[in-house]
Structure 1
Amino acid sequence: MRTRIKICCIASIEEARLAIGAGADALGLVGAMPSGPGPISDETIFEIAAFAPPPIAPFLLTSEQTADAISAHLRRTHTSTVQIVSQIDPAESAKLVELEPNVRRVQVVHVEGPSALDLMTAYAPHVHAFLLDSGRPSAGVPELGGTGRQHDWEVSAEFVRACALPVFLAGGLSAANAVDAITRVRPFGVDLCSGVRTNGRLDAAKLCAFVQAVRRADQELAPRGN
């Protein structure tokens, strides 16, 4: 199976075009956050989402924590997918299904330890996929993504094995560790921001190297014929 590639922190139509041309399957569009890189205005998110051609999926990264607020954010930006970066009340997750039944919903789980596995059951009935990241929601200033840190891939691999839904892997990925990450965790997709940037700008050479590394991992995992 081909590992999907999501390039996050897309800041402009030019960056979107570069990511798509390199082989991205999805674009991460970061709304207002308490910390971390890449936030852009809702107007810019709307423009990039409108530009993205099918089947490219524009993801709205929202830090809103209630179904009503997430729905309002979606209606301002018109993305096909929402990535909920806060670990919201599962009741709000259920309500969002009713408010936005046609939007794909991805719940972020920040892997701070084995307890991350306990969140799977609470959210799985209400979402289409999970994304495992390295934030610290309980920090004084909450970290909800974009940390550039790697978390415990053994926990992530266990999450993937136990989960019936697609799981994206994020957190400290780059061309240097993509093959190791994919062969160890076996995620549905990978997601990164800083690993393909130089001085905050999307770097075509790093982007190409990352995509090539992902494809090498796919080849290593492909069944061998007799």
Structure 2
Amino acid sequence: MPAPRVKICCISSPEEAELALACGASALGLVSAMPSGPGVIDEVLIAEITARVPPPVATFLLTSQTEADAIIDQQRRCGTSVVQLCDYVEPAVHVLLRRELPGIRLVQVIHVTGLESVELAREVEPRVDALLLDSGNTTLTVKELGGTGRTHDWATSRQIREAVNVPLFLAGGLSPTNVAEAVRAVEPFGLDICSGVRTDGKLDKVKLVALFSAVAAA
């Protein structure tokens, strides 16, 4: 199995972007307004960071929006190459995004809460370019749409990986100490890490180096 791609999320500045790329990141996650969780930055800053990122590195706009028009407008302001839908949307939204944002990849987050997540992943798969498995909870009064720092049941994640044919990113509580185990358990296409490579909220070079070493060893 080839080494999974690594997306470093919650990038907060051009300097953090440069550090993540220097350590080997294949993609960067840029968090727009969320009901909860870390890493939120202004859309002007998202656009500034995105403009500095060289191809072929992917830039992910993490959005909590669920209406097509709002998502389309947001992506056009930010200029990212990928839209990561952190909340669930109606099927028609995926269709409209495809039509109005040609060339922009769509990644749907699936919050792994149980076996129902497997069926949801199967349902969504035909409409998106990739799935991202996370540990949020959309049923809370204040939704958790990512950045929880919690792992979920990787056995269920493995079931989802085996049930779908699109690339699969694994997120949720990953760090240098558990990422090798996660890779062996799920065999994802990619990994998504935020809090596990930070110290006091700031991207930590030592943890980044340890993370990439662990991924390579796995």
TM class by smaller structure: over 0.9
State the distance in 2 between where 1:127 and 1:19 align.
26
Worse overlay, 10-19 or 97-106: 97-106
1:68-217 counterparts in 2 under 5 A? 68-217=69-218
State the distance in 1 between where 2:159 and 2:35 align.
29
| CA distances 1:47-99 after superposition (whole Å, capped 9, x unpaired) | 11111111111100011101111101000100001100001112211221111
Identity among equivalent positions (%) equals 52
Worse overlay, 12-21 or 119-128: 119-128
* Moved segments of 4+, more than 2 Å: none
Cα displacement (A) at 1:36: 0.1
- 3-state SS in 2 of match to 1:191: strand
Is the Cα–Cα contact under 8 Å of residues 122 and 163 in structure 2 kept in the other structure? no
| CA distances 1:87-129 after superposition (whole Å, capped 9, x unpaired) | 1112211221111121011000000111001112332222100
Length, aligned pairs only: 217
Amino acid at match of 2:72: S
Worse overlay, 93-102 or 41-50: 93-102
What is the TM-score normalised by the length of structure 1? 0.95
State the distance in 2 between where 1:107 and 1:152 align.
19
> Any unmatched runs of 5+ in structure 1?
218-226
What is the TM-score normalised by the length of structure 2? 0.98
- 3-state SS in 2 of match to 1:60: strand
| CA distances 1:106-164 after superposition (whole Å, capped 9, x unpaired) | 00000011100111233222210000000001111000000000000000001001110
State the distance in 2 between where 1:25 and 1:138 align.
32
- 3-state SS in 2 of match to 1:176: coil
> Any unmatched runs of 5+ in structure 2?
none
- 3-state SS in 2 of match to 1:16: helix
Cα displacement (A) at 1:196: 0.3
Q: Which residue of structure 1 aligns with residue 11 of structure 2?
A: 10
Amino acid at match of 2:121: M
Is the Cα–Cα contact under 8 Å of residues 59 and 81 in structure 2 kept in the other structure? yes
Cα displacement (A) at 1:2: 2.4
Cα displacement (A) at 1:181: 0.2
State the distance in 2 between where 1:99 and 1:110 align.
26
State whether structure 2 residue 64 is matched by structure 1 residue 63: yes
Give me the CA root mean square deviation.
0.7
Q: Which residue of structure 1 aligns with residue 32 of structure 2?
A: 31
